[in-house]
Amino acid sequence: MEKNQWDFTSEERTDLFAYVMQLINDYYTQLPESAVAPPLDLATIQKHVSKFDFSNPVNLKYAVDHVAYGLSNYQVHTTHPMYFGLFNPRPVFPGILADLLTASFNPQLAAWSHSPFAVLAEQYVITETGKRFGYKETDVDGNFTSGGAEANLTAVLTALIAHFPEYSKEGLRSLPKQPVFYVSKESHHSFVKAARVCGLGTNAVREVEALPNLQMNTEVLERKIAEDIRAGYAPFMVVATAGTTGAGIMDPVQEIAGIAQKHQLWFHIDGAWGGAAVFSDEVKLLIQGCEQADSITFDAHKWFSVPMGAGLYLTRHKQILHETFRIATDYMPKEGLELQVTDPFTHSIQWSRRFIGLKLYLSLLVYGWQGYSNMIDETIRICKQLKELLVANQWKVVNDTILPVICFTDPEREDDDVFIQKVCNLLIQSGGTWLSTYRVNGKLTIRACVINYTTSEDDIKRLVKLLGEARGKA
């Protein structure tokens, strides 16, 4: 029988899997000695990408080599132990294998009956995660999302439906008052996008000033709510950020929860990265009161180190996702109709989607909650040591948080934005590390984040040395 041109034999697959795994092993073995960030040579990268015009198919190994070369030479290596940038940690190996299994089995999670194991595994992880945030087991509901932006969008949608049930059918024009919601000025900008997508418009996002310690100013929050009510607006949600993107600050969760309850607002916690503190033995009290939230965003692809993207939307309101996303179709599978189950396509923004939750399910099977607690506590310990080293080397730390994010500056040139940015640029251009900058109370600072579980004491010593060299050149 003639071989199908689209398929590969068992022997070919075995050989190719081994070949790819060797490439990945070589990448991780060589990574510590590699440059963290390559030069941004647009012409060279474009030339490599367009090397083939798709007119003449190439051997798969050759194609894999082409892609591996591109990824090895033309990207910031977020998996590198000297990467101190955004929340892009080195993925844990069970998570990598989970993505391989998901791609290979290709389960379709739109309908429960098409992949009941996958759907139930995700539901199990959602329930157990919700319990860790303090929700009652019987109340927990949620879904896996592409990331925190989708989870935050889901929060806005569910909050709208909870307050304005008619919004689902009639839209915003049916509402007698303009809905508005409240976030800190330090919050993630995904809420601005969510307001656009929902049809609210960006003016519906009320940014609340932060205190000098960068927490949401709850006095200003109270005042803005009162002003909006008097002006004829309809407040419906308030967001507390559990671990701001820039400086790792925890908003006062319990205080904001009380304000939300007082005004009967949906209370959402954006714990996309800092929410992981709840799983730590040492710092879980940082997010005390999170069980009062109506919904929570948590990204497993941040501090939990599974491959992108794996966000979670959690809620303690069992019916709200059904009320927000329910829909009936003639063409979807009906085998599960007589069972007490929920088809995921009626329960989330997504329709057809992959087995996102396997990355977390498999990783939890291997490491358990205690393993993750140990990892979180270790990164906090390493970051604390980095903070001490920076202070000992005449750098000034300007943010106050236990979470592993440090915003720091040169105390003699803290008003010189050009100098601070040049120090950061020199570090990136050296290839030795990757850092970002962030403005704290109007002043530009250098920002270092430590959530890579392979970052060691030697790495942070090297970072401080590189910082000293860059400061001398800037």
- The 3 state secondary structure assigned to 59-107 is CHHHHHHHHHHHHHHCCCCCCCCCECCCCCCCCCHHHHHHHHHHHHHCC
User: Which pLDDT tens digit goes with each residue over 411-430?
Assistant: 999 999 999 999 999 999 99
- 163 and 47, same structural domain? no
Distance, CA of 153 to CA of 313 (rounded, Å): 10
- 149 and 43, same structural domain? no
For residue 414, give Cα distances in angstroms to 189, 214, 395, 400, 427.
26, 18, 10, 17, 18
Residue 453 covered by a domain: no
At 282, the pLDDT band (50, 70, 90 cuts) reads confident
Last residue of a domain, one of 319, 347, 364: 364
Residue 471 covered by a domain: no
User: Which pLDDT tens digit goes with each residue over 447-461?
Assistant: 999 999 999 999 999
Summary count for the chain: helices (H), strands (E) = 14, 11
User: Which pLDDT tens digit goes with each residue over 139-172?
Assistant: 999 999 999 999 999 999 999 999 999 998 888 8
What residues have CB less than 8 Å from 88, skipping those under 6 apart? 78, 302, 308
Reduce the DSSP state of residue 18 to 3 states and report it. Answer: helix
What is the pLDDT of the chain when averaged over all its residues? 93
Helix, strand, coil abundance in the chain, percent, nearest 5: 45, 15, 40
| Number of folded domains that form the chain | 2
- 60 and 157, same structural domain? no
Residue 327 covered by a domain: yes
∠ at Cα 78 (91, 86), nearest 5°? Answer: 100
Residue 23 covered by a domain: yes
- 55 and 121, same structural domain? no
Termini Cα distance of the chain = 69
The single-letter code of the amino acid at 1 is M
- 106 and 57, same structural domain? no
- 139 and 47, same structural domain? no
Residue 180 covered by a domain: yes
Closest to 357 in 3D by CA, of 93, 129, 189? 129
- 162 and 44, same structural domain? no
Last residue of a domain, one of 323, 347, 364: 364
- 162 and 301, same structural domain? yes
At 335, the pLDDT band (50, 70, 90 cuts) reads low
Residue 469 covered by a domain: no
- 105 and 73, same structural domain? no
- 199 and 255, same structural domain? yes
Residue 416 covered by a domain: no
Distance, CA of 281 to CA of 265 (rounded, Å): 31
Cis peptide before 309 (omega within 30 of 0): yes
- 107 and 54, same structural domain? no
Q: Report residue 429 as tokens.
A: 């251009």
Host domain of residue 69: 10-77
At 114, the pLDDT band (50, 70, 90 cuts) reads confident
Output the domain CATH number for residue 109.
3.40.640.10
Residue 406 covered by a domain: no
Last residue of a domain, one of 61, 77, 93: 77
pTM of the full structure: 0.94
- 128 and 68, same structural domain? no
Distance, CA of 284 to CA of 62 (rounded, Å): 49
